[in-house]
Structure 1
């Protein structure tokens, strides 16, 4: 089977690269995992995998390209994954590598140690993976994939600790970057977040003795699990026999959660830090309306990610809200054949303008971000072709001027429009009557930080907007990436 190919015009979006889910203490845990991964499909649409354990059959696994619904709803597949313990992973690979993706790159990864087997699923990115990989290969490790996540298994194999949780602690202390990891042994489900808690992980309960770990709370809802709490930054939880044990492998730490989870990555029906993602996005629209008011006739979201912010903008501004752009909900993977003809059709395959509503109107388009800007130009052209009198863009995030190295598929900096142009130059290039982004302070207010961003000690990872990386991107620096002047000094001071 050939790897799943993303839509040719999807490269103008930022993509979260992974979603993870695990279940223990439930009958047919793999079915729970499949449902959880289905709820997390927005976090990774290229491939997925499930590993389960059964006392009679041992470890079993299935890895497939494509959607969860096409692979892990089939009785013959699920019958090969028995047992009360399972973990799973959905994946979205980095730009440019999809055609070369092999099934061996699809997680969860599995390793057999003398004390038993262990499978791991990782969401995030290891920023010193290249150096670790070189070291491990020089010492005799044989890698089976191109994934940075495989380093964790090899580091565990070289640990001298006597059990798997302790070996995992050893391995993760060697790792830099962002990681939320779910792992399983024959009897334990393990969850751990990096010291900064950049990527999300939550704990839920099913029945009396069942527990689940997931990237988002929406994955708990689909199986009727009770939300217990978020796994804290730098925390490891080990679940066995209906009990949860917790430890702090990395010492004290201050969280720097990815703020773009609030803006775009997480599903709007998820809860982050006790706050509704939908409500946060609506509040971003409120902040936008206050910061960048405009006289207009219609507020229109770019579906679907711009919808909550557009609602907030309309409510605050008093401008009527309308669905001026309609999204085609039925574009499945079987439709795509990335020919030149389809590439030229661009976003028209995915979005269509509601001409009767748009004609003659001064339209405010609300979108979540501008990356390369190519999609924004095409949407503007569609709106103007439909007879709009004016087109104004309002963006529910600050300008994306820096690449992310913590588990998000981001173009190189020279491909980011905001890294090459001022906002006014971006407005002219896109060809709209006005263009405004929510400020970084406004974004922080929307997520509940009333005082805005603390410049000396930001409460979130906002490196894609500010260039202030909380963890040095070692591999990228080795390849010649240049950080913002002063950033390396700030990183060294923070480390001390």
Structure 2
């Protein structure tokens, strides 16, 4: 396979004030049966940029040129819009990946960690792109290294390629099935051979994957917004535990894994997915607006303005305002041009903190009782800074309403979560968090309220939860074996 990359490009540098949110796992995209795959893959990855801003990669195949790839640090728009790069990636089939490191090395990611990963097998080459996290990757890696495997990256996803190489099955799809049966945790995988596009979701369906039709070809993506950008028709979600194989002639489906009760990640509804995507037949925007409605019902407050913490708090703030009757207003304006990268921060710039990204509309909030609506509170550092900015602008009161329950447990299924002791809600009650943040009131939507907002009228079934909500409840649907082996204490053990 021919690979184009900038080996001397410096590692991607995250924005120094970007630690307030959970990092968005990864995004995957693929097409088959189109005239030129690379431009569509680049567009699809651009639509999924919110799921990973650290690096991006594309692999394509052409009958004459064979497999080719390009991997880059940084944004898709900065690396995959150049005609020279796109022209170097010919072929009617291709897959891509945008990354934020959730396993392997963090901060100083090497180019070898950037997906898709490629392997040459006896029956031909194959590339894979993985969204999620393999919770038994360390034990698998140890086992395969002891048996002679040589790993090239620090990524858990590379385990899949090595398991495929060791399989005795005859075809690439069969080897994928064989490999993924040994994998624990969460995985949505898009893979490609010379002629086939393959999509697989783990039996719990923790991470999303959708199927679309584009002209005479097919597309697979993490979210429907990536289908929209290439003009593809959204057909359906790939079901939990399902494998689909698409060629220009059509799509086949099979169920290679033992059936389980699905546990889709509920935080996809709260924050990760784009508001213009659809999940489970529901508009993400409408779900987030409904979370705001639930918040207004559960935690009413006397105030003059409802203001979102942009941009993730906006739909919930709209719903809160509509239900409460309190006027909705843009009390905080986001600087759209700071993004996730910035100049090397000096001490003076660090002291500016969140003001580089957000600015208060002083004329609007002066003398007002303000309700701030945000999607979550993780460490609480940014929430305190935003509160101070609102008070400095002359607000008389500041009330926080949070569109998710308290985040008290780390995620091990493809989200980069701080260690548990760094999560504010792991050691503080709601009242203690209110005092710590220094606000007039602080309320989170309840877990039942969140479930109602996503369409579960009866709330959460405590005996059989309908979603993965481990970051709120501490109830992990798959034991994080590697983490437990390193000393992580599960809720039941506390």
Q: Same fold (TM over 0.5)?
A: yes
Is structure 2 residue 107 aligned with structure 1 residue 99? yes
Identify the residue that residue 240 of structure 1 maps to in structure 2. 247
**8 Å Cα contact 2:104/2:155 also seen in 1:** no
Give the equivalent residue in structure 2 for 1:20.
28
Q: CA deviation at 1:158?
A: 0.2
Cα-to-partner distance string for 1:63-119 (whole Å, 9 max, x where unaligned): 000100000000010111100000000001249944321000000000000100000
Q: Distance in 1 between matches of 2:397 and 2:145?
A: 59
Task: Judge conservation of contact 2:292–2:317 (CA < 8 Å) in 1.
Answer: yes
Aligned runs of 1:250-261 on 2, under 5 Å? 250-261=257-268
Given the alignment of the two structures, is residue 176 of structure 1 paired with residue 190 of structure 2, yes or no? no
Taking the aligned partners of 1:46 and 1:81, their CA distance within structure 2 comes to 21
Pairing partner for 1:401 from 401, 405, 408: 408
Q: CA deviation at 1:240?
A: 1.4
Give unpaired runs (5+ residues) of structure 2.
1-8
Shift of 1:340: 2.5
**Pair 1:328-2:372 in alignment:** no
Measured after TM superposition, the shift of residue 342 of structure 1 is 2.3
Tell me, in whole angstroms, the C-alpha distance in 2 between the residues paired with 1:87 and 1:477: 34
SS at match of 2:107: helix
> Is the CA contact 1:5–1:98 (under 8 Å) kept in the aligned structure 2?
no
User: Which residue is 1:154 aligned to?
Assistant: 162
Q: What is the alpha-carbon distance in structure 1 between the residues aligned to residue 62 and residue 33 of structure 2? A: 12
Once residues 437 and 155 of structure 2 are traced to their aligned partners in structure 1, the CA distance between those partners, rounded to angstroms, is: 36
Written as runs of structure 1 = structure 2, the 5 A alignment for 1:265-284 is 265-284=272-291
Tell me the distance in 1 between the aligned counterparts of 2:103 and 2:180: 26
Q: Who is 1:493 aligned against?
A: none
Q: Deviation per CA, 1:413-457, whole angstroms, max 9, x where unpaired?
A: 000000010100000000000000000000000000000000010
Name the CA distance, whole Å, in 2 between partners of 1:346 and 1:365: 19
* Counterpart-to-counterpart distance in 2, 1:416 and 1:219: 32
Asked if the contact 1:110–1:118 (Cα under 8 Å) also holds between the matched residues in 2, the reply is: yes
Whether the 8 Å CA contact 2:13–2:341 is kept in 1: the answer is no
2:130 is aligned to 122
Partner of residue 187, structure 1:
195
The answer on whether the counterparts of 1:211 and 1:242 sit within 8 Å (CA) in structure 2 is: no
- Tell me if 1:200 matches 2:208: yes
| Pick aligned residue for 2:437 from 425, 430, 443 | 430
Instruction: Give the equivalent residue in structure 2 for 1:386.
Output: 393
Q: Distance in 1 between matches of 2:246 and 2:180?
A: 18
Paired residue secondary structure (1:485): helix
Aligned match of 2:5: none
Map of 1:473 onto structure 2: 480
Aligned length: 486
Please say if 1:464 is aligned against 2:474. Answer: no
Is structure 2 residue 332 aligned with structure 1 residue 344? no
- What is the alpha-carbon distance in structure 1 between the residues aligned to residue 243 and residue 466 of structure 2? 22
Q: 1:147 & 1:284 partners in 2: Cα distance?
A: 35
Question: What's the TM-score once normalised by structure 2's chain length?
Answer: 0.97
Q: CA deviation at 1:345?
A: 1.3
The gaps in structure 1 that reach 5 residues or longer are 488-496
Per-residue deviation, residues 260-302 of structure 1 (Å, max 9, x unmatched): 0000000000000110000000000000000000000000000
- Taking the aligned partners of 1:84 and 1:110, their CA distance within structure 2 comes to 18
Cα distance in 2 for residues equivalent to 1:451 and 1:337: 50
On the 8 A contact 2:404/2:450 being kept in 1, the answer is yes
SS at match of 1:161: coil
- Using the alignment, how far apart are the partners of 1:342 and 1:173 within structure 2? 49
Q: Give the deviation of 1:333 after TM superposition.
A: 5.4
Aligned to 2:491: 484
Residue 441 of structure 1 pairs with residue 448 of structure 2: yes
SS of 2:13's partner is coil
Distance in 2 (CA, whole Å) between partners of 1:204 and 1:396 is 31
* Alignment root-mean-square deviation, CA: 1.2
